[in-house]
Chain A
C-alpha cells in the first residue's frame, strides 16, 4: 500500500527540524519523531535537540554570564562604583537560561503545528526501509511509514568507562546546564572544546575549577571534527588554555583519572596518575564533569535490520555528498553522520538542501568547505578555512605564507587587562594570487569578527584584496586588514597602538 508520509524525520534537533519544516513548505506530508533518553543522571529536555537544550544556547548564555563577571571587574577602572567582589547566583542564572530554553522548545512545537508537521514524542526503530516503529515513554506503540526517511538523531556525551565510578558519580554537559544548584568546585576532564568552554564559564562565575588533560592541549581538539579546529593545535589551543590558566582555571597537565569515589560529605574524591612525576594524586570536588567526546545516537534505531552502513570505529552513519545512506530513500544529516562537522548551521543547511532536492527540483549539494566556527572559551577563538598545519600538509611549507600579529583590544587598556594571548594569523598561498586559505583569531567577540571574513574566503579573497580593504577603527577586527608580518620573517609580530 501507499506510505503514510512523504517524509519521516527521526530526531527533532537542528538538522531534523530544518529538514522537516522545509519539506512542509513544499506541501508535503511530514512527520517528526523526537525523543530524549534521560541521561544517566536523569536529566531530560524538550523538543529542539542538543543545540537548543544542552549545547550552543545554554553554553553561550552561561559564557555571557561569565563575561559579565569580567566586565564588572573592569568597571571600576572606567569610573563605576561597584562593590567588589560581585557575587554570582547559579540558581538565578540557571533558571533564566532554562526558562529561555523551554520557550524555544515551545516555539518549535508551535512552528511544527503551524506548518502542519506531525510531531510524535516517540523513540523510533526501523522495521523495514520505509517503516519505523515508534513508542512513547509509556510504551504505547505506533507504526509510521514514509517514502523518504531522514535520520537526524545526533549524539550524546560519552563516559570514560575505564575510570572507576565515572558513570555513577560524574555528569556531562547533558546535566550541567540543567543543574538547579551550583556545581561548586568542579573538575572537568578532558581537553575537548566543550570541557574548556564549560571550565571557562565556571571559573568566570567564581567557581573553583580544574581541567584535567592527559597530554598536550591539542589532542582533544581533533575530535571536534571541524576543518580548522581539527588540526589547529599547538599555537591556538595553547594560547586559549594559557589565558584560562592566567585567569584562574587550574590545569592538571599530563594526568589521567583512575577512579572517582563518593565521600561521607557527599563530595567526590578523584584519584589520578600524574604521568610527569609518576605519582598518584587526589583531590575532592563537588562535581566531576566528563567531556570525552560524543557518540552517535544510533543504538536503538535497528540500522542493521535495514542495512544502513555505519563507520565501524565511530558508529556514525556513512553518507555521500547528497546525504544518502547505503539504503535508497534513507538519508542522514547532522552530528550522527560520519565526516561532517558537529555544528548546528551545517546540519540546518544540509537539512534544508536535502528537502529541496527531494521535493523541490533542486540539485544543490551542501558545501562543507570553509565552515567558520568559534570556541567560546573566556578568550574566544574563531576560525575559518584551513589551519596552518593543514595548509602546509596540502601545499607544502614553501607555498604557504602565514601572516600573524599579537594585538591589544582597546577596551583592555584602561581596564589594565592582560592581552598576551590576543593573537591572529592568516594562512595564504604564496604564489601570485596569494589566495587566503584560512583565518584564525583569538580575542573578544571572535565569532562576530570571523563571520564576515567567511564570506571573503568563500569568494576566494586574496591577500592583496584584503590589503585594499579599509579597517574599521577602533576595533580588533581591523587588525586583520593590517596583517603584514610573516612567520617566515621571524620579526616581532606585536602590533603597536595607533
Chain B
C-alpha cells in the first residue's frame, strides 16, 4: 500500500488524526488558512506547498501525509496557540516527521532536495 493524504483544520483535528494513524510513519505540512479563492494568508506557504506536493511520491509505503491548516493569521500570531505550545512549531510553513525531531521550517520547505531528504531518510 502506498501513501495517503488526510486534510485537517485546527489543532484538535490534527491530534485526533495523528492518533488514529499511530504506528505508521506520519508526515505533516502546516500552513496558514486559505481564503475563498484558495489562497493562504501566509505567502511562504503558497511557495512551499507545490514544492512539497511535488516530492510526495517519495513518501515511504504505508505513510500518512497530513495537510493541516492551522487557522487564521491572528490565531497563528498568538504566542500561546496550541500548535506553538504543544507541537513546538515556530513558523509556518512547517513540514515535519511526526514523533521525531526531523522538520523543515519556512524557507527550508522551498528546497526540494531537503523535502526529499525528510521523506526518504531514517
Contact = CB atoms under 8 A, between A and B. Distances in A.
B68 to A, nearest CB: 21
B121 A109 contact: yes
Interface residues of A, number: 9
B101 A99 contact: yes
Contacts of A110: 104, 108, 114, 117
B102 to A, nearest CB: 5
A46 B107 CA distance: 25
B111 interface: yes
Contacts of A100: 101
A103 B101 contact: yes
Contacts of B101: 99-100, 102-103, 106
Interface string A92-108: 00000001101100100
Contact of A113 (B100, B103, B117): B117
Contacts of B108: 110
Contacts, number: 20
A283 interface: no
A237 to B, nearest CB: 38
A102 B100 contact: yes
A114 interface: yes
Contacts of B5: none
A100 B100 CA distance: 10
B55 to A, nearest CB: 13
B113 A106 contact: no
Nearest to A112: B117
B102 A113 contact: no
**Which of B100, B102, B103 has the most C-beta atoms of chain A within 10 angstroms of its own C-beta?**
B102
Nearest to A105: B101
Contact of B111 (A106, A109, A114): A114
Contacts of A99: 101
A114 B118 CA distance: 13
Contacts of A106: 100-103
A109 B100 contact: no
Interface string B90-121: 00000000001111100010010110010001
Contacts of A109: 117, 121
B72 to A, nearest CB: 29
A45 to B, nearest CB: 12
Interface in A67-125: 99-100, 102-103, 106, 109-110, 113-114
Interface string A110-154: 100110000000000000000000000000000000000000000
A100 B88 CA distance: 13
Contacts of B103: 106
**Which of B104, B111, B113, B117 has the most C-beta atoms of chain A within 10 angstroms of its own C-beta?**
B117
A9 B90 CA distance: 34
Contacts of B100: 102, 106
B113 A113 contact: yes
A103 to B, nearest CB: 3
A102 B99 CA distance: 12
B98 to A, nearest CB: 13
A110 B105 CA distance: 11
**Which of B101, B104, B114, B117 has the most C-beta atoms of chain A within 10 angstroms of its own C-beta?**
B101
B102 A114 contact: no
A57 to B, nearest CB: 14
A103 B103 CA distance: 9
Contacts of B121: 109
Q: Which 4 A-B pairs have the closest CB atoms?
A: A103-B101, A102-B101, A106-B102, A106-B101
20 contacts: A99-B101, A100-B101, A102-B100, A102-B101, A103-B101, A106-B100, A106-B101, A106-B102, A106-B103, A109-B117, A109-B121, A110-B104, A110-B108, A110-B114, A110-B117, A113-B113, A113-B114, A113-B117, A114-B111, A114-B114
